[in-house]
Amino acid sequence: MNVATAVPARIGLSGSRGASAPGAFAAFLASRVAVGDAGQDAVWHAAPERPDTDMGDAEAASRDRVLTAALGGDRDAFDAVVRRYQGQVFRIAGRFFRERAEVDDAAQETFLAVWRRRATYRGDAPFEHWLTRVCLRACYARLRKVGRTREDAGLEDDAPIVARDPGAPGAAVDVARLLAKLAPKDRFVLLLLYGEGWSTEEIAARVGWSRANVKVRAHRARAKLRRILEEDAP
């Protein structure tokens, strides 16, 4: 099996200007600019999707106005936020689910959670980071809830994970089958460790778990992966 396929873009995280200090954000909320100023907010709406760090001042100010309104309960502003960040959320969810319907469901659950929990966003981290955390947790919850994804349904036979080809230099691994054999919590951690290439510290920071918790989960997941690779070896 040729696994040297193009590696897709990883879950991007970037810093964000504005709304990053709790005090500044609270002050900003208090003195929020009237939302719906089409002339100013159009700057952000019309701009191509890109990391917040690459924004100019006018665009960042426009973004802050829309975000503030959305987090204050303005549905139209929230629509604008959804349209702006939906690509990022789909990229994250696409790491855990390969079927489009599953990705769509996870993305919807993410934005619903953002809406329902918008009051808990304190502004002490950039919105993109908070959104990423909510999305990762929504994906984890969904993985646990559905147990096996729809794509796993066709992989329930006992076909080997490691190809038994004596002529091959090393044996190719059927990753889809491997993932189908793993419990959702192990799958989640391994996709972040190996798929995203994140360290346990990075996972802890982005998902919002303690470092000890992530280390234990990573240790268990790696042990299961090792066992599967050893048991399934030709």
Partner 1 sequence: MTLDCRQVRGRVLASRRSDDVHLEAHLEACRSCADFAVRMEHVRSGLEAHHAAAEPDPGFAVRLRARLEGGDGATLDTMARWALGMLPAAIAIAAALTWFAAREGALAPTAWDPEPTAGDATLEWILADEAETP
**Residues binding partner 1 (CB under 8 A):** 1, 3-8, 75, 78-79, 82-83, 86-87, 89-90, 93-95, 97-100, 103-104, 107-108, 111-112, 115-116, 162, 169-173, 175-176, 178-179, 190-191, 194-195, 197, 222, 225-226, 229-230, 233
Choice between 23 and 167, CB closer to partner 1 = 167
The span from the CA of 196 to the CA of 182, in Å, is: 18
Contact between 92 and 133 under an 8 Å Cβ cutoff? The reply is no
156 vs 231, which CB is nearer to partner 1? 231
The minimum distance between CB 200 and partner 1, in angstroms, equals 10
- Least CB distance from residue 62 to partner 1, whole Å? 18
CB of 136 to partner 1, least distance (A): 15
Whole-angstrom distance, CA of residue 139 vs CA of residue 149: 12
Nearer to partner 1, 56 or 234 (CB): 234
Question: What is d(CA 86, CA 74) in angstroms, rounded to the nearest whole number?
Answer: 18
CB 152 within 8 A of CB 180: yes
CB of 66 to partner 1, least distance (A): 14
Output 23 or 48, the one with its CB closest to partner 1: 48
Smallest separation, CB 93 to partner 1 (Å) = 8
Contact (CB, 8 A) for 140 and 161: no
d(CA 112, CA 148): 23
**How big, in percent rounded to 5, are the helix, strand and coil portions of the chain?**
65, 0, 35
Residue 32 vs 98, nearer CB to partner 1: 98
Burial 175-187 (b: 16+ CB within 10 A, else e): eebbbbbbebebb
